[in-house]
Structure 1
Amino acid sequence: MKNNRRSFIKLAGIAAAGLGIAPRAMAAAMGGSAPIKDDPKGITAKQWAMVIDTTKLNTAKDIEKLAKVCHTVHNVPSIEGKQEVKWLWPDIYEHSFTEQENPHLPDAVTRRQYALLCNHCENPPCVRVCPTKATYKRPDGIVDMDYHRCIGCRYCMAGCPYGSRSFNWGEPRDHLDLDALNKEYPTRMRGVVEKCNFCVERLAVGKLPACVEASNGAIHFGDLNDPNSEIRAVLRERFTIRRKPSAGTEPSVYYII
């Protein structure tokens, strides 16, 4: 009995260590330390962040245009109703900034629509609760997904305080135009979670996120840790807020109000 128990504990320890090593190895690969040749065109940062200027981008129509660009690039299925899958979407102030209550806000602020997406938090609760490390934080601050490791438990959805994740209840390919797929980005399978990834696949080849390119200057993107970056200049010059600051997640998405 003692030997069996020792064997069980040993095997459990090895399995736990494997789960701990896997995400670190994956993160290392994303950081360029794996034996995979980096694209010389790729752009990097110590902490990617985004600033959305809501004085320029504030209507559902304009945000939905950006969402269409994002969803097309990432083969996001178009499903209506409760099974909707979304990476970028519009919502009102009351739903977007639940902790920024002020009954005397200008109508221009309360009547705007706000572009919502994954906040790529510095302290992401979704990463902590994922049992298979399918969701993980890269060295550059981006919270990414490994769809092959996702078992569909949806713990990450419960852990995310921003509602930024979607679950594929059905076969997502049934809701895609297969002739118009972006072959540079994988489609998903039934039973996995997905979300915005700050266009990691585009950054790797020297391109900015699709929504940033299509926003006509309404969305800024850059290295938050570089004091000389454009995004730091914007944050110094403009007043910004973030969603649910009391959650302690330290979102990397800022909003100019």
Structure 2
Amino acid sequence: MESSRRRFMKMAGIAAVGLSAQPVIKAVAAAPTNGTHSLQKGPKALIGSQWAMVIDTRRFKTERDVAPLIEACHKTHNVPHFSDRRHEIKWLWETHFHNAFPDIVNPHMSEEAEHRPYLVLCNHCENPPCVRACPTKATFKRQSDGIVVMDMHRCIGCRFCMAACPYGARSFNFRDPRQGLVEKEMNPQYPTRMKGVVEKCNFCSERLSEGLMPACVEASKGAIVFGDLRDPNSEVRRVLRENFTIRRKSGLGTEPCVYYIV
């Protein structure tokens, strides 16, 4: 009887904490973030209604081929580096075919294709489950160009978005990100983050607003094409018409906007 009473009191206490936190969450969620938020655009800003990316995996043979692209992304956005993998922060990284495309089963596929390094990142889905999961609207899809962005000032660290993302494309700052940066190599044009928030690839929205292509696209020397998926005359649409492409876990209905030429 006493143990049952203790369990009841414990659960009642947890429920009380949850109820007391609800007004705070609702207050933050009520702030005006309706998907129209955007950076101040410069006169040369690139305009698109649904940005998308096509990665030509045939251009990457070893990890050394993709390393400069990852470095360009992470240096541009002050992504910290921690030797302990439990604290790893990733915006762009490489993985094995079967990790990237677990739903595409082919026991007799080309060994060369199977063992290429596959770059993975946030897919900036047209139907992003992370957005629906976030209680504070810290992550939302911009209506203007389809980019799924993170407002890290609004993030409360609940990690619901991480649980909702089927691509593992989000990282949580268990440690102070600034401790994983070399000060002299920091990019003063991009803000650093704090401990306890989630972060991910933002399709280089800050570069697009200045008329620049994403850092990884620029470093890829043509192996990655970026453009407006809604424009039938865009380079992305031309590449998609001329090549066979696949997407990660497309059967989930998320409509990822990152395509892979294999």
Same fold (TM over 0.5): yes
* Paired residues for 1:189-200 under 5 Å: 189-200=194-205
For the residue of structure 1 that corresponds to 2:131, the secondary structure is helix
Q: Which residue is 2:17 aligned to?
A: none
Distance 1:213 1:102 in 2: 33
The one of 151, 157, 160 equivalent to 1:155 is 160
The one of 239, 251, 256 equivalent to 1:251 is 256
Q: Which residue is 1:29 aligned to?
A: 37
Residues 1:17 and 1:227: Cα distance change in structure 2 (over 3 Å): farther
**Contact 1:54–1:256 (CA<8 Å) still a contact in 2?**
yes
* Paired residues for 1:221-232 under 5 Å: 221-232=226-237
Q: Which residue is 1:169 aligned to?
A: 174
CA RMSD of superposed structures (Å): 1.8
For the residue of structure 1 that corresponds to 2:225, the secondary structure is strand
Deviation at 1:113, TM superposition (A): 1.1
Letter in 2 for 1:250: E
For the residue of structure 1 that corresponds to 2:55, the secondary structure is strand
Distance 2:29 2:193 in 1: 23
List per-residue Cα deviations over 1:4-47 (Å, max 9, x = no partner): xxxxxxxx99x8587356221xx3232x8xxx6x3111111000
Q: Which residue is 2:214 aligned to?
A: 209
TM, length-normalised to structure 2? 0.87
**Contact 1:42–1:206 (CA<8 Å) still a contact in 2?**
yes
The one of 108, 123, 126 equivalent to 1:122 is 126
1:67 aligns with 2:70: yes
Deviation at 1:64, TM superposition (A): 2.0
For the residue of structure 1 that corresponds to 2:201, the secondary structure is coil
**Contact 1:59–1:114 (CA<8 Å) still a contact in 2?**
no
1:218 aligns with 2:223: yes
Give unpaired runs (5+ residues) of structure 2. Answer: 1-21
Letter in 2 for 1:23: T
Letter in 2 for 1:241: I
For the residue of structure 1 that corresponds to 2:54, the secondary structure is strand
List per-residue Cα deviations over 1:111-157 (Å, max 9, x = no partner): 11100100000010111000111111012111000010001111111
Give unpaired runs (5+ residues) of structure 1. Answer: 1-11
Distance 2:173 2:73 in 1: 17
Distance 1:129 1:205 in 2: 31
